[in-house]
Chains A and B, each alone.
Chain A
């Protein structure tokens, strides 16, 4: 079975640009979460979506937005990129919204902002 997939693998953008990152969850998983992992730090929670609705939001500016599609895949959008947005963006899926469910992570998208 395929795990969580993310695209693209790497991305280079310049300040002020916009970026869209994509995630496909494990088949049967209905919950998708996004995390930002800056080099040398643990992942920081950005969003959680379940059944196409936003169920949680971390402490990130409004430049960050996301959505979940009917097939449970998800997009993370970041507008007006800043140098500080350079990070590994991780997508994680779980089969339900329950807080005891472990999340399964994709390989991440490495975003570099120049």
Chain B
């Protein structure tokens, strides 16, 4: 069965500093990997996905993520954090035969001015 771990409940970073939100996954075979962001009282917004090819994926709002097959990780990164990036971030995995997403528990990102 697929699973996703986000080892940090909370990540704090100063505005302008780089940020990393960690994600590791477990799936049989090659995965499809996704990052979503959730603002208060809102649904989830798609940021980026990894399907195949280049291990560095670029997405919305300056975010990028690096797929590492040997470490089964898909960490979300941004070179320079903004206060407006403060939100709840979810990593999700989908195996290539599955119909559903499996989401991690989420990481709350706080960017301090």
Contact = CB atoms under 8 A, between A and B. Distances in A.
Interface string A35-59: 1000011111100100000011010
Given A100-B51, A102-B34, A104-B46, A56 B106 contact: no
A33 interface: yes
A72 interface: no
Interface residues of B, number: 27
Interface in A1-43: 4, 33, 35, 40-43
B43 A107 contact: yes
Contacts of A103: 46, 101
A84 to B, nearest CB: 18
Given A99-B32, A99-B96, A100-B51, A105 B44 contact: yes
Contact of A42 (B43, B46, B96, B105): B105
B108 to A, nearest CB: 10
Closest 8 CB pairs of A and B: A56-B99, A42-B103, A105-B43, A45-B100, A105-B44, A107-B43, A102-B46, A100-B51
B15 to A, nearest CB: 26
Contacts of A44: 103
B107 to A, nearest CB: 10
Interface of A: 4, 33, 35, 40-45, 48, 55-56, 58, 90, 92, 97, 99-100, 102-108
The secondary structure that dominates the A interface is loop
A97 B99 CA distance: 8
Contacts of B94: 99-100
Nearest to A44: B103
B75 to A, nearest CB: 17
Contacts of A99: 32, 94-99
Interface string B1-44: 00010000000000000000000000000001010100001111
B106 to A, nearest CB: 5
